[in-house]
Structure 1
Amino acid sequence: MKLIQGKTVGLAILSYKSPQTLSKTLENYARVHLKEMFDDACVVFQSVGPKDLAVADKWEYRTVASGHYLGVIEDLRLTLENMRTDYILLMENDCPIEPNLSERDVRAELEKAVRLLADGEADMVRLRHAWRPGGSSNAAAKYSRYYDVNQLSASWQNAEKLSNSPQWVKKMRRLLFPKEARHSIGRAVYVEENPHLCFPDDIRKVGSFYIVDSAVFPWTNQPSLIPRRFLEQSLVRLSRVQQGLVNMSPDDLERLFNSRRWDSEHFRIAISKGIFTHTLKA
């Protein structure tokens, strides 16, 4: 059954020279029949090898591949050229589903995310699990370096060590590093019980989602459901930004996205409980 009537939703998994990680991730997705929830699903390879293709074929994923590696902008270009859906869940190959979530849980979360975008409430939805993110996530820890936690979220899982610095030290950090402090405000959604009340100018609540202004919430490479139109516009903009930067790694998508325009355009980033975690590549 489609996630939303009248629109199409695709799943694009970016993978580069890590067939073992991809295999574990796709096996994890099969547990909840994730692929079957989408109108289209593919693995986007650069510098693809026989083992990569064998993994995708085993789990019956369509493949898109280039002969050699050209960086993350090429990933976006390949995805957009080969997937025509209205919305695309864009993610890397090391983001399994949080193990406590059932097929019903995952579908319900995806349906709500797509509906939020279709209703025009947000420009993208981040779907990394808010309290069990996996890997080396330190979003909540960074927030606590600059701000006291007003009321710890009832869902807090102690996945990160929060700062115990005194209030005056945090105030001094905000004065000395105003940009870093402002960019940490969005991370309140991961630790505060009511982040929209703590920062009403930057965060609002819509149903089970928090909508955060991009001026206080930098881009990070995590599973995100994004309208095709937004990705197309981003590809043009990122290509221009990359041309103006020197010593630029082709993998540095976060640096590319987090330009002045990211702050000034006030994109609306939705956060909910989430679905996916993060593991180290095998």
Structure 2
Amino acid sequence: MLLPTLPEIAVLLALSGCAQPSPDKLPTQPTYEFASTPSWQDEFTTPGEPDPAKWSYNLGDHGWGNNELENYTDKIGNARVEDGNLVITAIKEPSGKQQYSSARLVSKGKGDFLYGKFEIRAKLPKGRGTWPAIWMLASGNDYGNKGWPDNGEIDIMEHVGFDQDRVHGNIHTKAFNHAIKTNKGSNVVVQGLSEDFHVYTCEWTPDAVTILVDGNAYFTFKKEAAYQWPEWPFDKPFHLILNIAVGGNWGGQKGVDDSIFPQKMEVDYVRVYPLVTK
């Protein structure tokens, strides 16, 4: 048997194992877009109680882990639809064990979403001690200690009344959260938060969470290659939450001005656009 010479071996290697795939065979990263039509929405067109097919209530006066001062109720005085808006109202009145009442609406079990673009057009309350939020929590308990912050939180909009012209967007996870002073987020100055409606948006893909106001992105949290669930639990369904807290560890840092109540957050619409992968 004749053995190949060294030059022949070099030629064979070049023609086989060292060949490179053509550019059109290289793997490509997915391109994420969002549908132009919502898959879930509430335009708040029917006066009265919020649509029970879309919203439930979190109830209670126990401080909600933040030493908050309100009792969340399901009373129509605290949450109602009128004039084409959802109106959540915080009232200075004895309620449960607290001296304020308010409402916290949740879509859990009626609107649970894995990725998408979430748009909420809202006008915020005003005054020291108010703490409105438009945010999301995991609908299940899949990670860690089966609760917060292990399963994640996405804050589409938070506002504290003692810092009137600023809105905040944040994420919280086991690795990144305010309790251990590692949370990821940002804020932006916006004029007329309590006088005008503004659009608060979250764009959530398998690679990133981006927070916007009036179409302007001011915070993006990207998934890094090394992240596991403690850093990135954002691969399970989440639900929406709309509420006004009173006082609390953040909202009450400079006290509560009782003269401002009642205060309301008006929500014109909530629209969820599903993710489309190209």
TM-score w.r.t. structure 1 length? 0.26
Larger strand percent: 2
TM-score w.r.t. structure 2 length? 0.26
> Which of the two has higher C-alpha Rg?
2
Larger helix percent: 1
